[in-house]
Structure 1
Amino acid sequence: MAQNKCSGQFCQNLSFLLTRVNILCNFVDQNKHTIQYGLLITRAGDMERSTQSTWLDEGFTILKKTGAAGLTIENLTRRLKKSKGSFYHHFKSRDDYSEKLLSFWERKQTFDIIEISRQEKTFDGINTKLLELSTKNLDPEIEVAIRAWALRDPQARAFQERIDKQRFDFLRQMFSLKTGDPDQAQTISFIRYCFYIGSQQLIPALDDRTYREILGVLMEMFEQYITPSPQEESP
């Protein structure tokens, strides 16, 4: 009797389990498209985990190789083996991507360098730090590509104009510590910045050692031209 009672309990449990399985199967069958879509999204998320910097880094690689014409969503997703959904997760549009790419470049090659250099208080200190940072971060191919982009695209042009103005204004402020003549500071800053741009436009661009050597000669010429500021003349 005990054995029959146990078997009866087992059958009851099995029947309950089969009922639940049947309910679950019906639910899956009725909602299979939703479930399959959810699984696809989950898998896609696992495969396409990326950061915004991943897309920006690839953009700079494209700029160096093919120029701004290669900065299409199709090209970016193909090169990174990502979906367009992954792109739109980080950027609202192609224009938004371009703005973030240019903003990153502006911050890295202008804001950060200027802010760190400003921590120095003397002309020699600022000039040394500026030269160190600008040559360390210098990537002539990207600088040239962005300038070429700015010739054809209003968005890139606005960024390039702002970058040039910020860099030039900083040089003028720096040379104002060296000379008491604002016109001299303006002229020397213009020559210095034109040399910086021209050194990148050459093919091939000047290497770091040559750039420093020529800049040293240029600075010696400036010394002969400059009227020292009162701070420079004081003992």
Structure 2
Amino acid sequence: MKVAPRFSRQNWLELGFAALAEDGPAGLTIDALCRRAGKTKGSFYAHFPAIEAFLAALAEHWRESFTLRLMQAADQSEAAGERLIALDKMALALDFRVEQGMRRLAQLDAGVAAICTAVDRERIAYLARLHGEAGRLPDEALALARVEYAAFVGFQQLDLGLSPQDLHGCYRSLMRMLARPAEG
């Protein structure tokens, strides 16, 4: 008889992303997570002493998976313009539902809110750096990064009645417009 492999901390975090995407913050109770996993509360508590610890770990996992890894992957390209394009493609491939869920969760949990704020600042700073390396003046690079990021978050949060493909098309159009050189 085969014994099922132990459910790891990473398994719980990935399960948390799925629950957040499908059910929002309401899906992130210990009972709901254990039902979804088909595991006991003891399995959960073996990795997290309380739900607050799980939520903090989930937010850090989101930061790592949805921000830091994308930046590292984008940095594999040489030119700043190529890194911006690579970053936009990867960002558009993310599950917007996890991003939406994380922001809703931040409204309910101060620890998650602090991580979301830090992630927003990291993302904007990274975009500003890339825009600066692409030839924009520092003030313009920062302003452009803020507008680009606001659009990225805004498209995720607004219900415009568009399909995911249409939303991505709108965002890509905005990116093309923002990528045009500034007129003197």
State the TM-score bracket (shorter-chain normalisation). Answer: 0.7 to 0.9
1:223-234 to structure 2, matched below 5 A, reads: 223-225=180-182
- CA shift in 2, pair 1:158/1:180, >3 Å: same
Match of 2:15 among 37, 40, 58: 58
- CA shift in 2, pair 1:132/1:215, >3 Å: closer
Partner of 1:113: 70
Q: Deviations over 1:125-175 (max 9, x none)?
A: 111211222122x11111111111112210110110011011000000011
Partner of 1:81: 38
Establish whether residue 126 from structure 1 lines up as the match of residue 83 from structure 2: yes
CA contact (8 A) 2:81 2:130 kept: no
Deviation of 1:217 after TM superposition, in Å, equals 4.7
- CA shift in 2, pair 1:114/1:218, >3 Å: closer
Partner of 1:157: 113
Distance, in Å, in 2 between the alignment partners of 1:80 and 1:183 is 48
Partner of 2:168: 211
Amino acid at match of 1:188: L
Deviation of 1:54 after TM superposition, in Å, equals 2.4
Partner of 1:220: 177
* Paired residue total: 181
The 10-residue stretch of structure 1 (193-202 or 118-127) with the greater mean CA deviation from structure 2: 118-127
Partner of 2:53: 96
Let me know the Cα RMSD of the aligned residues: 2.3
Larger Rg: 1
Distance, in Å, in 1 between the alignment partners of 2:47 and 2:32 is 16
Amino acid at match of 2:29: T
Q: Which runs of 5+ in 2 are unaligned?
A: none
CA contact (8 A) 2:16 2:33 kept: yes
Displaced runs of 4 or more, over 6 A: none
Q: Secondary structure of 1:152's partner?
A: coil
Higher relative contact order (CA 8 A, sep 6+): 2
Taking every aligned residue pair, what percent have the same amino acid on both sides? 25
Distance, in Å, in 1 between the alignment partners of 2:183 and 2:163 is 27
What is the TM-score of this pair, normalised by structure 1?
0.69
What is the TM-score of this pair, normalised by structure 2?
0.86
- CA shift in 2, pair 1:201/1:117, >3 Å: same
- CA shift in 2, pair 1:212/1:127, >3 Å: farther
